[in-house]
Amino acid sequence: MKVLISGASVAGPALAYWLGRYGHEVTVVELAPALRQGGYAVDFRGSANKVVLERMGVLEDLRARQTGGTAMRFVDSADRQLLRLPPEFAGGELEVLRSDLTQVLYEHSRSAAEYRFGDSIASLEQHGGGVDVTFESGAASTYDLVFGADGMYSVVRRLVFGGGLVTHGGYYIAGWDLPNSFGIERDGLMYNVPGRLASVGMDHRDPAKAGTMFVFASPELTYDRRNPQQQKDILRSTYAGIGWKVPALLDGLDDCTDLYFDSISRVDVDRWSDGRVALVGDAGYGATVGGMGTGTAIVAAYVLAGELEAAGGSYAAAFAAYESQLRKPVRACQSGGGRTGKFLAPKTRFGIAARNRLLGTPFLLNQMLRVGEKVSSDFVIRDYEVAAQRQ
């Protein structure tokens, strides 16, 4: 079939790889002019992630690029340690930079798909013979199927499923790069005041560089997602008057050209498909951070393409099987994202102290480390190629 995928981050290239492998004619359209760079490190946990990465042939490539994780060291205003969490707490079993993951997925899928950068879907209309798509560039074509793999603010979801499907989680997250003038080595340093976190860690590629992560509690804000100056003003206002390294970290905003700023939110969609259109990854069930979204997207792309293969191209049956199989474990992963802001930036001094005390207990820390493995075990990974050979 002739298929269109919107989005070239994680879910899109992973889906393109499998659909191309099964013989479909695949086009991937991406708004950005090239593969996106930057972004935080992402991690994989549990057997399901490992199985799919192995079957894609990318596991060893990713292991060659793994960061090794970064320990999280919570400190007071004098840099005295209050709590240290080991690298595997945030980094899982395998952690890589998002840009490295995107590059690897692109390299493994580009022979199976046509990538069209610097364009986006402007409109689409379904009918009995396919989906008519018009692009922002003015080009137009008809596809048998369209997949939205274009993130939390998915164009495909908006056009087909409507708006109002992103739920604000009560927190915002931001990050930017700056020179490592703080003497940061392996551990990332985390500093809290009620409702706010400021942190800085060494760049995994270049020790002379550092990266920040700021998380703060806030009602939903009105701002322009394409106006970084407005976002910088929000950060300066929110963190005004806080000590530690915060003033110097905020000074790094002056020369910042790659600011990441977003709400900690989740996508809630009643169904993941409508006719010939289906959502995969963050577009259908995203959680900004802490929801195991990267591993989920990889597994979901594998299952979606596999179910389409197993159904012999019957997309309605395939989409129903895809959602039936994944909705429960995906929702379990998403629920973790709802706790991330509260964990990183508790709203009271008591909450900060309680987190530090509880996670300083080895038993409780080990229990939390097992959560990702437990959730991952809920994913059932079929061998679709074997199943297809038996038909």
Per residue in 245-283, pLDDT (tens digit) is 999 999 999 999 889 999 999 998 999 999 999 999 999
pLDDT at 391: 44
pLDDT at 157: 96
Instruction: Output 97 or 104, whichever has higher pLDDT.
Output: 104
**Above 90 in pLDDT, residue 388?**
no
Instruction: Output 378 or 6, whichever has higher pLDDT.
Output: 6
Helix (H, G, I), strand (E, B) or coil at 157: helix
* Average pLDDT score over residue span 144-160: 96
* Average pLDDT score over residue span 205-216: 92
Is the dihedral angle over the CA atoms 231, 232, 235, 240 positive or is it negative? negative
State the Cα–Cα distance between residues 311 and 386, nearest whole angstrom.
13
Number of helices (H), then strands (E), in the chain: 15, 19
Is the dihedral angle over the CA atoms 75, 76, 81, 83 positive or is it negative? negative
What phi and psi, each to the nearest 5 degrees, are found at residue 165? -110, 5
295, 277, 275: which is closest to 286 by C-alpha? 295
Is the dihedral angle over the CA atoms 338, 344, 346, 347 positive or is it negative? negative
pLDDT at 165: 87
Query: Which stretch, 26-30, 167-171, 339-343, has highest mean pLDDT?
Result: 26-30
pLDDT at 91: 67
User: How do beta strands 188-193 and 277-279 pair?
Assistant: unpaired
State the Cα–Cα distance between residues 237 and 169, nearest whole angstrom.
20
* Average pLDDT score over residue span 58-80: 92
Tokens of 314: 């019957």
State the Cα–Cα distance between residues 329 and 370, nearest whole angstrom.
15
**Above 80 in pLDDT, residue 82?**
yes
Q: What is the largest CA-CA distance in the chain?
A: 67
Predicted confidence band at 306 (pLDDT cuts at 50, 70, 90)? very high
pLDDT at 373: 59
pLDDT at 92: 72
User: How do beta strands 209-217 and 166-175 pair?
Assistant: antiparallel
- Residue-wise pLDDT for 185-199, tens only, equals 888 999 999 999 999
Q: Given the structure tokens 């806030």, which residue do they identify?
A: 218
State the Cα–Cα distance between residues 308 and 334, nearest whole angstrom.
25
**Above 70 in pLDDT, residue 290?**
no
**Above 70 in pLDDT, residue 151?**
yes
pLDDT at 291: 56
- The alpha-helical segments, DSSP class H, found in 57-168 are 59-65, 87-91, 98-109, 155-161
* Mean pLDDT, rounded, of the chain: 90
381, 244, 373: which is closest to 300 by C-alpha? 381
Other Cβ atoms closer than 10 A to 21: 17
Task: Give, rounded to a whole angstrom, the gap between the first and last alpha carbons of the chain.
Answer: 19
39, 43, 13, 9: which is closest to 336 by C-alpha? 43
pLDDT at 378: 65
**Above 50 in pLDDT, residue 103?**
yes
**In this structure, are residues 348 and 194 in contact, taking their beta carbons and an 8 Å threshold?**
yes
